Structure 1
Amino acid sequence: MRRRHRRQHSQPELDITAFMNLMIVLVPVLLLGMVFSQIRMIELNFPGMESGKGTSAEELQLVVTLRPSGLTVATSERGVIRSLPPVEGLQDFAGLRETLKQIKQQVPEKTDILLEVAEEIDYQTLVTTMDTVRSYPAVVAASVVQAELFPDVSLGNATAGPTVDLARAGEGV
């Protein structure tokens, strides 16, 4: 007769040190990656969408028209203030910023602006224009901060002519 020897079956120990090392490295890398992948959101106002708010005739309306042929800054009081043709095929954002800074010095309490955009304008140009009309870099106490220009941006379609009444068109700020 044969004897059957029962072998003792033992459960091998689970070695998770490699997995723990992976987690120790992976968790900080993923947490750092979250900081750099934030989604940016731009708040917009659309003309005529707010009920109960009407624009009065005396209120200054500032309009920046963005077309492939250039930028136009106009107000309801003075008409076209400045036309900025493209510089080397690109829109003149520096000229727009300087014009808006001069307007902001004259009417510091104004925060809203209407941005009229032609259909031919690409998305990146639109976002750059919106960033330009919202703020500009300024040096305060030896550090660069974003100074406010016109943070309340409303969007509209650029028609054949500007939205504001240009009967009293003037040049210069």
Structure 2
Amino acid sequence: MVETPELNITTFLNLMVVLIPFLLISAVFSRVVILELSVPTSAGGAASNTPNFAIEVIVRKAGFEIANGTSVEAAIPKKNDEYDMKMLSEMLIRLKAQYPDKEDATVLMEPDIEYNYLIQVMDAVRGTEIKAEEAVYGEDDEDDKEIQRIVLFPDISIGDAP
């Protein structure tokens, strides 16, 4: 009659007691950021005296178009096969200066454009960084100017480009 040996798992359990807390402590916990978007609504129920002005940033393969809801106001072509985010920010700053109470904008994308560009455009529409007009120490040196974050159009709707 052959006796079966006992299974000794003590060493394995000791390893698990040390390994599990180490793995939990060293794990990187990611933070998920959620950006609330609004869905464009039809203007059928709006009052007739309300101006029908909408800021639309249309992302096309050839570049950006900024429209007012009915017609294209400005076109920003690509530079060196890259979207000109700086020019887009400058145009949006001008629009914000003209319409300071306007809080919403729509980003419209053509189908075959990378998702990364959608995020970059949404960041540019929500806000931008500009250098302060006055230098920190009263000097007029470009390096001494503070960078300020300004909010442009925080309420963003997204959709497909026409």
Q: TM-score, normalised by structure 2?
A: 0.69
Measured after TM superposition, the shift of residue 73 of structure 1 is 0.9
4+ runs of 1 displaced by more than 6 Å?
14-18, 140-143
Q: Percent identity?
A: 26
Distance 1:85 1:29 in 2: 47
SS of the residue corresponding to residue 43 of structure 1 reads coil
Task: List runs of 5+ in structure 1 lacking aligned partners.
Answer: 1-13, 160-173
Whose radius of gyration is greater, 1 or 2?
A: 1
1:68·1:121 contact (CA, 8 Å) conserved in 2? yes
Task: Specify the code of the residue in structure 2 equivalent to 1:131.
Answer: D
SS of the residue corresponding to residue 33 of structure 2 reads coil
Tell me the number of residue pairs that the alignment of Structure 1 and Structure 2 aligns. Answer: 141
Q: Which has the higher contact order (CA 8 A, sep 6+)?
A: 1
Q: Does 1:68 align with 2:61?
A: yes
Q: Does 1:42 align with 2:35?
A: yes
Distance 1:119 1:112 in 2: 23
Task: Specify the code of the residue in structure 2 equivalent to 1:152.
Answer: D
* Residue number in structure 1 paired with 2:158: 155
| Aligned residue among 72, 82, 103 for 2:74 | 82
SS of the residue corresponding to residue 158 of structure 2 reads strand
SS of the residue corresponding to residue 119 of structure 2 reads helix
Summarize the Cα distance change of 1:133–1:55 in structure 2 as closer, same or farther, 3 Å threshold.
farther
Task: Specify the code of the residue in structure 2 equivalent to 1:62.
Answer: I
Q: TM-score, normalised by structure 1?
A: 0.65
Measured after TM superposition, the shift of residue 17 of structure 1 is 7.5
Q: Does 1:109 align with 2:112?
A: no
Task: List runs of 5+ in structure 2 lacking aligned partners.
Answer: 1-9, 137-144
1:111·1:151 contact (CA, 8 Å) conserved in 2? yes
